[in-house]
Amino acid sequence: MITLQELRGMTLRWRRVSLFSRSHELSTGTGVAARLDGPSTLFGRVSTAEGFGGKWEFQERGVFGNTVEIREAGHHMPFAILRVNPWRSTSVLELPKGERWTLRYRFWKGIMEAEDKGGPILACSSVLSLADSAVVTFPADVSKIERVPWIPMLLFMLLSGHRRSAAAG
């Protein structure tokens, strides 16, 4: 299993496993660091993320999917909640102990980034391709990301969702 410490300063690419699959892998070039399995195409609302020593589920709630609950796989109680504002480019991620991060979508640049009061933490940016694809550059200091190791998967899930909705019109 690859740890976040091993990825410091590296740029990795999200790749679709196969053309008709809703699964994506964060590739290191020699292996797989993380995996995101998207929801089923018909009425699916739960995505599963695995990597960095854990397995999580992201469940979209609400009529427009404006809330995402993050929980450990197999558990029903979420430990973090993402509140998506469809009218703004920012969303609020409520973490345990009252900590809040802002997730910002930069439409024209195709970037989804996470930031706290201290500034940017991690960004996931789109790559021009026919399939969902993106790159993530991990910072030299991954201590904040180690507390929420599922954040690269959540950023990619949101970014690919924005791309799908933009393509649908």
Query: pLDDT tens digits, residue range 126-160?
Result: 876 555 689 999 999 999 999 999 999 999 998 88
pLDDT at 169 over 60: no
- The reported pTM is 0.89
On the question of pLDDT at 21 being above 50, the answer is yes
Give strand pairing partners of 125.
111, 135
CATH 1.10.510 fits 5-168, yes or no: no
134's torsion region: left (phi>0), alpha (psi -120 to 50) or beta? beta
User: What is the C-alpha to C-alpha distance for residues 11 and 136, in angstroms, rounded to an integer?
Assistant: 6
CA–CA separation, 52 vs 150, rounded Å? Answer: 8
Q: How far is CA 6 from CA 10, 28, 51, in A?
A: 9, 10, 13
d(C-alpha 46, C-alpha 40), whole Å: 8
pLDDT digits (tens, 9 = 90+) for 69-92: 999 999 999 999 999 887 788 999
- Provide the pLDDT confidence category of residue 101 given band limits of 50, 70 and 90: very high
Which phi and psi (to 5°) does residue 29 adopt? 100, -40
- DSSP 8-class letter at 7: G
